[in-house]
Chain A
């Protein structure tokens, strides 16, 4: 299969081609780089919104409601929903569509479910390529939903223009809200399930945390109460997203964030490409033998890593790197 043909079809609006190229990238099949170059040139128009938060706080329901809002404005929508891959079997149940089934036959919506596969930061390693493909396909708004994220799963920051962190009442005391990680990356906080007791104090804790920072450099994250399933507070969420986007749309002012996103993406592509190239330099049998030796403590894992990398990169001074 020639992937550049797929890329051309995608740019013409072929949804099936988009679905196929996403699989090619996910499966890390060889030789899609040129197609992704073409996709890159045809992308860059979509707004990218990230939705993250702990499992069960209502991310999928919020994504569904926000997507419906974009559709009412006449915009086409892409949704990338990531669910966890089993670390034991590599399998996954991807169930985010359950909350969005009303959208699945809408020709203006493209939903793709992804397993997190190797990704540990709340996204799949290939999520950014998937966003690009949907952008090139012509989706005007792209919403990325992370896996139910814990405290350090902050990859979404490297992908989205606007990050919404969703939380709910009873998800921890004041100290939880001043810890580092997820709660530092929000552009907008949504306290969902606002009809549950404690929603006001959860919002107050978040606001107190935000007020500790003296200079927000032009954007102070709002804390909004909402009930995604009860369709309450959603206008305010959509309004804040719009305001953040206007603020963020000045490229000069936000070069720093764009640069850190670009840096991360370059390193991610290098890391997965090099790992792929190096892994293919040893056979499964050779690798199995090294694994056995390390497991039996007859060889150090560093030594094994140098042996594998050494066969792909002859002459490199591996003692410096590994």
Chain B
């Protein structure tokens, strides 16, 4: 049987905009993946606990509120603390100058506005190397 790629799409913090997150979730679903969507207003602790219970291969963090530079590194810290092997990417409104710091803390890719859906799907398929 083919192993299925499982992805958590998460909205950390108080940001209330999830159209983009839902579009990405839908696209990954259409690519044959199982996508867990938790809804808005999640704390980094909730996100990492969810990822752990759901045994996901990847986490997609979406933020449009500017709090990424605090919340995303906190997620990475908890991922490491729990010794999880998980691919973490980010999306939303993230200024260019913040990208290097996010990459440095372990975020594998930052998908800004204008990124094509195909690119996000391909990135996950390539990096996770599983059929789905």
Contact = CB atoms under 8 A, between A and B. Distances in A.
A105 B46 contact: yes
A210 interface: no
Given A101-B46, A104-B49, A26 B4 contact: yes
A105 B49 contact: yes
A149 B54 CA distance: 23
Contact of B35 (A27, A90, A91): A91
A238 interface: no
Interface in A1-45: 15-16, 19-20, 22-23, 26-29
Interface of A is mostly: mixed
A85 B34 CA distance: 8
Interface in B44-66: 45-46, 49-50, 52-55
Contacts of A29: 1, 3
B68 interface: no
Given A27-B4, A105-B43, A97 B31 contact: no
Interface residues of A, number: 30
A109 B89 CA distance: 27
A93 B7 CA distance: 10
A112 B53 contact: yes
Nearest to B31: A91
Given A93-B35, A94-B36, A105-B45, A276 B1 contact: yes
A94 B34 contact: yes
A211 B108 CA distance: 61
A92 interface: yes
B25 interface: yes
Interface of B: 1-4, 6, 25-26, 28-39, 41-43, 45-46, 49-50, 52-55, 82, 84, 132
16 contacts: A27-B1, A27-B4, A28-B1, A29-B3, A89-B30, A92-B29, A93-B26, A93-B29, A94-B35, A95-B37, A95-B39, A97-B39, A97-B50, A101-B39, A104-B50, A110-B53
Interface of A: 15-16, 19-20, 22-23, 26-29, 85-86, 89-95, 97-98, 101, 104-105, 110-113, 115, 276
